[in-house]
Chains A and B, each alone.
Chain A
């Protein structure tokens, strides 16, 4: 069975600075997809970024980028130029062959003005 681990329950960043959220996973599959979701206080789960395992290139979406290290099974999220609206719970997730989205425990990010 696959597992997803987020080792940082809480993180803090100064506005306009850069922060990196960590995620590691364990799987025996070779082809899979990884996601980062953001859940602000409103509780809607918002897709931030998606990475396909067979693609070497790291995914980017505006200020959000990932560092995908397949051999190390690591999938970290970098947020550049942090904004107050980035404050949220961030979940790393793995989509397995059975069609299930396996979530990590989440990292709560606070942004200081």
Chain B
């Protein structure tokens, strides 16, 4: 069983809606990640938080807004999305953040399926 929990599992939203994806981990990890994955493709990194601070933003459009309220929680706020944003959104965590290779094994959640209509 995964120790990274994502909610909701499925989300359908209109282009004018505001919604949020949530992620929680209880492994005491200090780094958390958002990835976007299209069908039959590898995940693409969106954001990395390390010690609750945003450390990597892969030039993601501003209609995606991450938030890390504490070291166990990670949110992704969604607003004015486009149909091409429909994808699987994966949250992940690792014991330490970028640069610390020895504690860098990344563990993924089950993902949130997002459909924009």
Binding site for B on A (CB under 8 A): 31-33, 35, 37, 42-47, 50, 89, 91, 95, 97-101, 103-106, 108
* B66: Cβ under 8 A from any A Cβ: no
**Which residues does B use to contact A, with CB under 8 Å?**
2, 31, 37, 40-43, 45, 48, 50, 55-56, 88, 90, 92, 97-99, 101, 104-111, 113
Min C-beta distance of A1 to chain B, whole Å? 14
Q: Which residue of A lies closest to B55 (CB)?
A: A99
**Cβ-neighbour of A100 out of B56, B88, B92, B113 (below 8 A):** B56
Report A60 CB to chain B, min CB distance, Å: 16
Q: Which residue of A lies closest to B98 (CB)?
A: A99
Cβ-defined contact, A45 with B108, below 8 A: yes
Q: Please, how many angstroms separate the alpha-carbon atoms of A13 and B2 in the complex?
A: 27
Least Cβ–Cβ distance between A6 and chain B, in angstroms: 9
